[in-house]
């Protein structure tokens, strides 16, 4: 029941919003629906914990033997929680952003929420593919219609990259389907035995799709442009949630299904992760646009997750899951700040800003906490995740290069501290200038949204046990499959 509710609430709201021309009403309805989704998700975490509520399995396409099979295991719960937690914040914190045809904007946003939730819950590969695309297409329209100046070309590049990835994934899924004797079920996939060549082909096909989405070097080139050109609420969805689709895909559909290649080729992918981290960190240091800075920092963080996945260990994998949630929360906080600055001052250029702390003290305090989380300070949520990942990579028996990876990862943490702190220094401290002279503190809604994020950051940072408990079963499951195979 929960999976159906989680998908239907945003889906129906999204479609209904097209018929509600008034922007304020549309926003209110979207906010209400997203809060309702959150309520359902919280209920699933506390009251409706039994399989009756968390599993939905009905026939869909008889001829293809595909089923409407959704399940909320620990990892799904964590990511659905991230999605349902983020959407109300995204809508609420950007309440004052006004859009032409705002109702359509909100409608498409809601549709993409339905797609994202479907991706995280699907246990049927065809269903997974369906929702994967459902999440993508609204975003194409959102970016192309409401984005910045170069939006059409940039979004098109984004769409082509992801669509190519998706289609290659589809071929991989069809091959798996044939191999599984005509079944799309995840439970059938994980029982398959492959020859090395078969596994290599299918693995590569699926991997490209996930790598594009994360994004992983060298398939990342669409990302900074798209993040920059997309309207900020959409950038929030893209980076806080959608980037996790790729990581999730690796953990759900690649590692348990095709562990041999993950092992044999793991070092290559971990190296790509390392390149991603270092490369993106160095570029981030040179950025003058706040959006691009956050975009590159996101590539760096995702890179570390890739390293931890391909140098697998129980702690590392669990760290990745927690970090998916944490990274979503933290980057959402960063975007809220960027959006607030852009809305207030009309610029995102670091060189044009300065001294904001004098004018907007509340914003500054909240941002600094979010930024500290972004660079994984102890007592913040990201510390837990990154610590577990580093620990896992160092202790991984699957790779000989654990130390090297960890050293490179440590370097990126330092680099991330450099660019994040420098950004804070240049934007918030120092003297005010002509642009920031007129600034005042941000509105209450932004403060509330940021405060909620800060609470989440500290709560997970100080007491991560509930989240760890949520993911331990899935982690063990994945690790057992890897070692049994």
- Tokens linked to 137: 């297409």
- Considering the complex, what minimum distance in angstroms separates the CB of residue 155 from other proteins? 9
- Considering the complex, what minimum distance in angstroms separates the CB of residue 64 from other proteins? 8
- Considering the complex, what minimum distance in angstroms separates the CB of residue 121 from other proteins? 17
In this complex, which beta carbon is closest to other proteins, that of residue 171 or of residue 444?
171
Strand partners, 57: 69
- Considering the complex, what minimum distance in angstroms separates the CB of residue 69 from other proteins? 16
Q: 73 in the Ramachandran plot: left (φ > 0), alpha (ψ -120 to 50) or beta?
A: beta
3-state helix vs strand vs coil in the chain, percent to 5 = 80, 5, 20
Cα-trace Rg, the chain:
21
In this complex, which beta carbon is closest to other proteins, that of residue 50 or of residue 149?
149
Strand partners, 56: 70
For tokens 């963080």, the residue is 301
In this complex, which beta carbon is closest to other proteins, that of residue 170 or of residue 460?
170
In this complex, which beta carbon is closest to other proteins, that of residue 198 or of residue 267?
198
In this complex, which beta carbon is closest to other proteins, that of residue 115 or of residue 224?
115
In this complex, which beta carbon is closest to other proteins, that of residue 174 or of residue 365?
174
Strands 55-61 and 66-71: antiparallel
- Considering the complex, what minimum distance in angstroms separates the CB of residue 262 from other proteins? 21
Those residues whose C-beta lies under 8 Å from the C-beta of residue 279, and which sit 6 or more positions away, are: 217, 299
Those residues whose C-beta lies under 8 Å from the C-beta of residue 455, and which sit 6 or more positions away, are: none
Q: What angle do CA 156, 162, 165 make, to 5 degrees?
A: 140
- Considering the complex, what minimum distance in angstroms separates the CB of residue 20 from other proteins? 15
Those residues whose C-beta lies under 8 Å from the C-beta of residue 249, and which sit 6 or more positions away, are: 206, 209, 210, 213
For residue 218, say if its preceding peptide bond is cis, omega within 30 degrees of 0. Answer: yes
Q: What angle do CA 143, 353, 421 make, to 5 degrees?
A: 90
- Considering the complex, what minimum distance in angstroms separates the CB of residue 116 from other proteins? 15
In this complex, which beta carbon is closest to other proteins, that of residue 132 or of residue 335?
132
- Considering the complex, what minimum distance in angstroms separates the CB of residue 156 from other proteins? 7
In this complex, which beta carbon is closest to other proteins, that of residue 144 or of residue 330?
144
- Considering the complex, what minimum distance in angstroms separates the CB of residue 136 from other proteins? 9
DSSP string, 5-38: HHHHHHHHHHHHHTT---HHHHHHHHHHHHHHHH
Q: Which helix (H) or strand (E) holds 59?
A: strand 55-61
Secondary structure E strands in 62-179: 66-71
Q: Which residues bind other proteins (CB under 8 A)?
A: 61-63, 129-130, 133-134, 137, 141, 144-145, 151-152, 156, 159-160, 163-164, 167-168, 170-171, 174-175, 177-178, 201
In this complex, which beta carbon is closest to other proteins, that of residue 8 or of residue 160?
160
């Amino acid at each position: 029941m929960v999976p159906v509710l989680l998908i239907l609430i945003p889906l129906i709201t999204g479609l209904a919003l097209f018929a509600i021309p008034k922007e304020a009403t549309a926003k209110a309805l979207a906010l209400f629906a997203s809060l309702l989704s959150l309520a359902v998700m919280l209920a699933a975490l506390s009251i409706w914990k039994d399989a009756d509520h968390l599993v939905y399995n009905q026939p869909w396409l008889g001829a293809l033997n595909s089923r409407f099979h959704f399940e909320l295991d620990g990892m799904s719960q964590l990511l659905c929680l991230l999605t349902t937690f983020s959407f109300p914040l995204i809508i609420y914190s950007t309440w004052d952003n006004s859009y032409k045809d705002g109702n359509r904007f909100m409608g498409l946003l809601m549709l993409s929420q339905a797609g994202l939730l479907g991706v995280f819950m699907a246990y049927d590969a065809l269903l997974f593919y369906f929702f994967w695309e459902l999440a993508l297409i609204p975003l194409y329209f959102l970016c192309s219609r409401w984005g910045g100046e170069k939006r059409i070309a940039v979004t098109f590049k984004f769409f082509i990259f992801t669509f190519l990835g998706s289609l290659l994934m589809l071929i991989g899924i069809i091959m798996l389907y044939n191999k599984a004797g005509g079944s799309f079920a995840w439970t059938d996939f994980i029982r398959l035995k492959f020859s090395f060549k078969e596994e290599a082909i299918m693995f590569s096909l699926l991997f490209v799709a996930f790598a594009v989405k994360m994004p992983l070097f060298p398939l990342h080139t669409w990302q900074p442009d798209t993040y920059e050109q997309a309207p900020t609420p959409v950038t929030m969805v893209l980076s806080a949630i959608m980037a996790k689709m790729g990581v999730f895909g690796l953990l759900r559909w690649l590692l348990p299904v095709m562990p041999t290649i993950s092992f044999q080729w793991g070092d290559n992918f971990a190296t790509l992760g390392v390149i991603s981290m270092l490369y993106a960190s160095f570029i981030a240091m040179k950025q003058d646009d706040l959006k691009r800075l956050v975009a590159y920092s996101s590539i760096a963080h995702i890179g570390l997750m890739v390293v931890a996945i391909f140098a697998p260990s129980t702690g590392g994998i669990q760290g990745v899951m927690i970090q998916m949630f944490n990274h979503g929360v933290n980057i959402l906080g960063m975007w809220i700040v960027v959006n607030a600055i852009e809305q207030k001052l009309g610029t995102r250029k670091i060189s044009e800003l300065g001294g904001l702390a004098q004018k907007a003290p509340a914003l500054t305090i909240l941002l600094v906490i979010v930024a500290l989380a972004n660079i994984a300070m102890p007592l913040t949520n990201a510390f837990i995740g990154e610590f577990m990942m580093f620990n896992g990579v160092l202790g991984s028996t699957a790779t000989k290069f654990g130390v090297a990876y960890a050293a490179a990862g440590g370097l990126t943490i330092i680099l991330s501290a450099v660019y994040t702190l420098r950004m804070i220094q240049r934007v918030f401290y120092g003297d005010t200038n002509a642009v920031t002279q007129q600034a005042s503190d941000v509105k209450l809604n932004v403060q509330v949204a940021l405060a909620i994020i800060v609470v989440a950051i500290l709560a997970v940072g100080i007491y991560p046990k509930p989240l760890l408990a949520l993911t331990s079963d899935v982690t063990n499951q994945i690790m057992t499959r890897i070692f049994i195979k």
